[in-house]
């Protein structure tokens, strides 16, 4: 069951670097969630928090109030086509693997403007080897799949053994932790520390195992039934020459989609533009598994006011979730609206059925005194709880709790019966 916090204001925005403008989000703490619940949350613009409690704390920007409105973005992986700039990233990777040196094109230009990833940053599979742990084992590597949309230079006629450098990719279940994940945990942590210190300028003394686990390992996802597909949270590891870990992508495999969460990498290999490359590899993975897991590739948030985030729209075709109707709208249409103002509704409300928060079912802890305060015949008692609705209970619960309950229904939506459990 979720623990609701409601609206939370932060004093600093990591996107516009402003410490005076409002940065408002709606937060909840999830102890567990089924895969379908996590997908519904994602469709409603709830994402894992990039912060101390990532994985179990999820948040949704209050776009009408926050300084940098954020919109959920997803790409149709089946219809995806590689752009000219993305092909260039693939060529850089191919030249590095084939020749074992920094490509001349990289030496001659300063391409620091390439993005670092999609989800928070993000990650995905690369290279030739398709050794995936647990039960997720593709029949072919992601590289061969990329060839269906555009020729991937990393799949040139040179065999992996003939290359100067070799790729190896492992998809390790991170929650519950697999044996393969545990064996490489310390190496991942060292890479993560180096990345946070060099790229994000974090204080080394503040980077601890405990925080890393809360941020990128711990997950609330639980299986809905035995024998279900291997949905869940994974770390996708990129190995160079079989012994050097240079990047790790954190992803959630959900019904209908692959959701990008975070990417961290060795800063020494920034010239490979691992963010863009890994996004291409992840799209290829979605294409490979689309019959089982669905065609959508979720890239976290799109923030139009942050120039560094606009690259996500280049993975075409992509769509943004309307913040009011939650319909998916082509990103090009959304961009035209966002050019006129930082907040916009992308779809019409005509056929949208508005949620009635007061009709949501509410569970209250049983007491004779509380039952006597509620209108007769407007509640039932089952065991140690009183079952009523938010509207009926409005006169007996605290004003702040009532506000949070009503906001919760409007933000999450109702699929049948909405049950909110308040405890003393």
pLDDT at residue 384 in the model: 84
- d(CA 127, CA 136) in angstroms, rounded, equals 17
Q: Residue 179: pLDDT above 60? A: yes
* Count of CA atoms in the C-beta half-sphere (13 A) of 253: 27
Per the model's pLDDT, the better-predicted residue between 363 and 161 turns out to be: 363
Average pLDDT over residues 328-355: 86
- d(CA 422, CA 3) in angstroms, rounded, equals 9
Mean pLDDT of the chain: 75
Q: What are phi and psi of 164, to 5 degrees?
A: -75, -35
pLDDT at residue 138 in the model: 33
Per the model's pLDDT, the better-predicted residue between 11 and 318 turns out to be: 318
Instruction: Report CA 12 to chain centroid distance, whole Å.
Output: 21
pLDDT at residue 60 in the model: 76
Average pLDDT over residues 371-375: 87
Q: What are phi and psi of 105, to 5 degrees?
A: -60, -30
Note the pLDDT tens digit of each residue in 134-143.
333 333 333 3
Is residue 80 within 8 A of residue 226, CB to CB? The reply is no
- d(CA 228, CA 250) in angstroms, rounded, equals 21
Note the pLDDT tens digit of each residue in 14-28.
777 766 666 666 555
Q: Residue 47: pLDDT above 50? A: no
What letters, b where the CB count within 10 A reaches 16 and e where it falls short, cover 122-149? bbbbbbbbbebbeebebeebbbbbbeeb
Average pLDDT over residues 54-80: 82
Note the pLDDT tens digit of each residue in 276-315.
999 998 999 899 888 777 889 999 889 998 888 888 999 9
pLDDT at residue 314 in the model: 94
| The overall pTM is greater than 0.75 | no
């Amino acid at each position: 069951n979720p623990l609701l916090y409601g609206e939370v204001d932060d004093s600093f925005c990591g996107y516009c670097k402003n410490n005076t403008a409002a940065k408002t989000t709606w937060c909840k703490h999830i102890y567990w969630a089924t895969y379908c619940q996590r997908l519904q949350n994602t469709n409603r613009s709830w994402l894992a928090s990039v912060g101390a409690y990532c994985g179990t704390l999820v948040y949704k920007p209050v776009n009408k109030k926050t300084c940098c409105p954020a919109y959920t973005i997803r790409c149709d992986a089946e219809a995806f086509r590689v752009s000219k700039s993305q092909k260039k990233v693939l060529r850089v990777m191919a030249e590095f693997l084939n020749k074992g040196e920094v490509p001349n094109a990289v030496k001659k230009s300063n391409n620091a403007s390439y993005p670092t990833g999609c989800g928070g940053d993000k990650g995905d599979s690369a290279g030739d080897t398709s050794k995936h742990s647990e039960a997720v084992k593709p029949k072919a590597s992601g590289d061969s799949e990329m060839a269906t949309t555009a020729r991937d230079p990393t799949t040139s006629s040179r065999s992996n053994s003939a290359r100067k450098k070799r790729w190896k990719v492992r998809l390790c279940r991170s929650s519950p932790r697999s044996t393969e994940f545990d064996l490489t945990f310390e190496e991942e942590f060292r890479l993560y520390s180096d990345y946070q210190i060099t790229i994000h300028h974090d204080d080394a003394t503040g980077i601890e195992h405990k925080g890393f686990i809360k941020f990128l390992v711990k997950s609330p996802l639980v299986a809905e039934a035995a024998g279900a597909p291997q949905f869940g949270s994974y770390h996708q590891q990129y190995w160079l020459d079989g012994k050097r870990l240079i990047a790790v992508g954190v992803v959630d495999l959900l019904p209908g989609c692959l959701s990008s969460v975070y990417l961290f990498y060795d800063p020494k290999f920034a010239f490979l533009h691992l963010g863009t490359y890994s996004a291409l590899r992840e799209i290829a993975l979605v294409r490979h598994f689309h019959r089982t897991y669905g065609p959508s590739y979720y890239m976290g948030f799109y923030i139009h006011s942050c120039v560094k985030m606009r690259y996500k729209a280049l993975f075409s075709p992509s769509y943004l979730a309307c913040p009011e109707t939650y319909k998916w709208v082509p990103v090009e249409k959304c961009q035209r609206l966002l050019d006129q103002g930082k907040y916009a509704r992308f779809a019409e409300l005509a056929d949208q059925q508005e949620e009635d928060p007061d009709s949501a079912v509410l569970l209250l802890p049983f007491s004779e005194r509380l039952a006597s305060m509620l209108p007769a015949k407007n509640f039932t008692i089952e065991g140690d709880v009183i079952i009523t609705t938010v509207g009926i209970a409005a006169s007996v619960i605290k004003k702040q709790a009532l506000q949070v309950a009503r906001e919760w229904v409007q933000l999450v939506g109702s699929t049948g019966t909405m049950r909110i459990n308040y405890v003393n």
